[in-house]
Structure 1
Amino acid sequence: MKEKDIFKLNGFVGVFIVLLLLAAMAYFFISFTGSLVISDLIIAIVVALLLLIVLTGFTIIQPNQAKVFTLFGNYLGVIKKEGFWFTFPFTSRTNVSLKVINFNSDKLKVNDLEGNPIEIAAVVVYKVVDTAKAVFDVEYYKEFVHTQSETGLRHIASQYPYDNFNNDYEISLRQHSDEVGDELTKDLQKRLTVAGVEVLEARIMHLAYSSEIASSMLQRQQAKAVLAARKVIVDGAVSMVKSAIEQLSSEQIVELDEEKKAQMVNNLMVALVSDKGSQPIINTGTIY
């Protein structure tokens, strides 16, 4: 089913036609009362019936609203432009909103790429662009959008890991929300095209580990943070020890053989890397 425009006239043209019919009906009815000619009465009745038929052809379209018209089961077309219009009489009319609709999905419990149970929810922004598909190709397009959005969200969540701990993946749900949102938008657009819907945006609004593994995953994140901090400390300590040895040697403050250098490196690394305060030991020399 493809969307098409229905034949329509400005509503005030229809009003003019109604006034002509009223004038004709009044003329023939007055003529009948004066001459009692039965043909004048029949014409007056026919004009009155025609007037009632014409009155059913008026419709009003609000801004960002469309009306789909059918006549005895046949699709005639749609009017999207706001205003006062006159079209085919006796038509059935279905209102379709063209406004942008914001839909928040429920929190879904799914497994990510690594099999970890997570909770995820998304916000989907969409609007109807093909009223014929929205009305005739699916049953209740809003419910269809909700169901397909949850299905698409489950599919996308299973394609990526929650987090990229070991840099094994290019994209993760937590670190690459924009990329995941773009993929979700593309996936939903494929699913919702049949309903005449355009997906404007889809973004993850809630992401968390499920309660049964949240504690263990938090410990994992904390351990990763500690390791990262330790690496920074060690890298800094190595740089400081190297600088200290080079400065002592270049300025000839003290002569160090390889054994003393190793001992100095060991002492400095322990002092710099240890998370506890170090206590200096003063070497006073050998006592005999």
Structure 2
Amino acid sequence: MNAEKPHHPASGYAILVLLLLLIMAGGTCVYYISPEVMVPFALVFIFLCKGFKIVNPNESRVLTLFGEYKGTIKQNGFFWVNPFFASKDISLRARNLDTNPIKVNDKLGNPIMIGVVLVWRVEETFKAAFEVDNFELFVKVQSESAMRKLAGAYPYDNFEDESEISLRGSSQEVNDELERELMERLAIAGIHVLEARISYLAYAQEIASAMLQRQQATAIVAARAKIVEGAVGMVDMALAQLNDKRLVTFDEERKAAMVSNLMVVLCSDRAVSPVVNTGTLHP
């Protein structure tokens, strides 16, 4: 038997009433027969009391009889089971695992620091109790292993190809992949993954400064490209409106000079100093 099965125990209250009646019967025998008669009654009472079990909400008890799995009690309440049963408590509550950031290499070989937050709970008590030695330690070790595999499958950032999935830029896709990986790894221990996501992501200290400069340079290039694109549109609009309203007639040389001046003004990262020409453009 390698799967969980429910166990339906007897009501603890009903058995408690029977034991109280047993004690009363023992007391009656002591009164009418002999005090020695009370000894077997007391021994039976103590032995049967070992069968009482209390199961709190979102907890369970795994029952075995001389090494044989007999079932799991998942309903909460006061119960009585065979006193020979050995029981093990397993919590069914949701738990958090916040791993410490570890140093790994991404797809491009860059050292990075990565940490994850995992929300999980026990779903199959048989697997949690008997398929692994310590299911809590198993969750921790497998989470770290999944982090290393995930980091090695994707680059930290996609500088060259924006469509490529990256750890920093594609958080939803990466978190979904992490959750699927952990569900496959932890299924052997009967663990259900409720949520898994990256909680910490950064370049390792030895390359953080250099990669920050690279990110800044990429951002500056992207900003400059946007500025140039806007400036070209503004220059084109200015020339078109001047031509439509026939305010000034430009030859090709003057158009080139005006375009050059406007591009310098619009693309400059500093405030320009206007120069007012009060004379003619040509001698």
Question: Alignment identity in percent?
Answer: 45
2:113 equivalent in structure 1 = 119
Comparing 136-145 with 272-281, greater Cα deviation is found at 272-281
Contact 1:11 1:85 in 2 (8 A): yes
2:251 equivalent in structure 1 = 257
1:4-46 residue CA offsets vs partner (Å, 9 max, x unmatched): 1224111111112212322333344444339xxxxxx77x655
Question: What is the aligned counterpart of 2:122 among 122, 128, 136?
Answer: 128
1:3 equivalent in structure 2 = 4
Report deviation, 1:115: 1.4
1:160 equivalent in structure 2 = 154
Query: What secondary structure does 1:158 align onto?
Result: helix
2:275 equivalent in structure 1 = 280
- d(CA) in 2 for partners of 1:102, 1:77: 27
Report deviation, 1:159: 1.2
1:244 equivalent in structure 2 = 238
Contact 1:163 1:174 in 2 (8 A): yes
Query: What secondary structure does 2:246 align onto?
Result: coil
Comparing 21-30 with 218-227, greater Cα deviation is found at 21-30
Report deviation, 1:55: 1.4
2:205 equivalent in structure 1 = 211
Report deviation, 1:104: 0.6
- Counterpart of 1:108, as a letter, is I
Mapping for residues 40-79 of structure 1, pairs under 5 Å: 46-79=40-73
2:228 equivalent in structure 1 = 234
- Counterpart of 2:261, as a letter, is N
Query: What secondary structure does 2:257 align onto?
Result: helix
Report deviation, 1:279: 4.6
Report deviation, 1:228: 1.4
Query: What secondary structure does 2:175 align onto?
Result: helix
Report deviation, 1:73: 1.5
- d(CA) in 2 for partners of 1:169, 1:261: 39
- d(CA) in 1 for partners of 2:86, 2:239: 92
- The unaligned stretches of length 5 or more in structure 1 are 35-40
TM-score normalised by structure 1 residue count: 0.90
- d(CA) in 1 for partners of 2:200, 2:116: 7
1:84 equivalent in structure 2 = 78
Distance 1:22 1:239, change over 3 A: same
Query: What secondary structure does 2:33 align onto?
Result: helix
Report deviation, 1:240: 1.3
- Counterpart of 2:275, as a letter, is P
Report deviation, 1:75: 1.4
2:104 equivalent in structure 1 = 110
1:228-247 residue CA offsets vs partner (Å, 9 max, x unmatched): 11112111111111111111
- Counterpart of 1:63, as a letter, is P
2:15 equivalent in structure 1 = 14
- Counterpart of 2:109, as a letter, is G
- d(CA) in 2 for partners of 1:177, 1:189: 18
Contact 1:21 1:48 in 2 (8 A): no
Aligned length: 280
Query: What secondary structure does 1:14 align onto?
Result: helix
Comparing 269-278 with 104-113, greater Cα deviation is found at 269-278
Contact 1:97 1:128 in 2 (8 A): yes
Comparing 44-53 with 122-131, greater Cα deviation is found at 44-53
